[in-house]
Amino acid sequence: MTAATVTPAGLKADARIPLRGHLRHTGALIRRNLLWIRQDPESMFDAVLFPVIFTLLFVYVFGGSIGQSLGGGQEAYVQYVIPGLMAMMGMNLAQGVGTGFNTDFNSGVMDRFRSLPIGRGSVLFAKISVELMRMLFATAVLLVIGVLVGFDITNWPGLFASVGLSAVFGSALMWVFLTLGVVMKNAQSVQAMGFLVLMPLQFGSSIFAPTTSMPGWLQNFTDYNPLSSLADAARGLMVGGPVAHDLWVTLGWSAAITVVMAPYAIHRFRTKGA
């Protein structure tokens, strides 16, 4: 088997690797990815700068006007937007998973991995595990900035539940972008496709502003937008309000996306170039 080709024999060997072997391979690849981040700290810039820039931008540019519609001012908007931005972090970082994965393919790194006697799925699970760590780091930065601009944390169990919910949904989205990273020809295509998907979902949701003033057709879209459910669930858990419906909708979307996209992403990774 060459570095650029995956043979049927290699696929059968992958299928015979026991669960313990997959876990060992995943752990080794997680360590490899973390060491790479340590050697290239600039790869963490997005996890640091995204939460800072978005928080300051929306709080100080839109906080006063939107906060008035919430019955308060900038302080009211801070309590509204921070849980929403938490929901957005996973989606933005998920896009980076696809572009990075595609770059690894074009540079030959993934061909090298696929020529080794390791579980093919381990490569993807390791990538998602490391990106989840980056997402949790970005969430911590977001919460620190949020507290500095006035966010009041009154429900710590609800805060941790919101972080966990965001991580579950973010990991589901990563399977979508990993698939794009495999099937698209270059990182620019993955980024463009991600932009086309992310922008309508982010701004056609309740992340940044209440949906009551939106046109009827757009409100119908936000009702089915999983980001709205995630943002509203996080809001309810952290600052109070209805939780159950949005929580189950978010978990349902996460399960459905993972069940559909995870096997497909692993299949395309295994058979690419076969």
pLDDT in tens, 46-72: 888 989 999 999 999 888 888 888 878
| Residue 141 or residue 8, greater confidence | 141
**Domain annotation covers residue 105:** yes
Decide if 126 contacts 29 (C-beta within 8 A): yes
Average pLDDT over residues 4-19: 54
Task: Provide the domain count of the chain.
Answer: 1
**Domain annotation covers residue 215:** yes
What token pair was written down for 266? Answer: 């692993």
- Domain range for residue 144? 8-271
pLDDT, position 117: 67
Return the residue matching tokens 């952290």: 238
Strand residues in 15-119 grouped as ranges (E): none
**Domain annotation covers residue 3:** no
Coil, helix or strand at residue 40: coil
**Domain annotation covers residue 2:** no
22-26, 38-42, 183-187, 251-255: the lowest-pLDDT one: 22-26
| pLDDT per position as a tens digit, 196-243 | 888 888 888 999 988 888 888 888 899 889 999 999 999 999 998 889
Query: Does residue 5 have a pLDDT over 50?
Result: no
pLDDT, position 80: 92
pTM across the whole model: 0.85
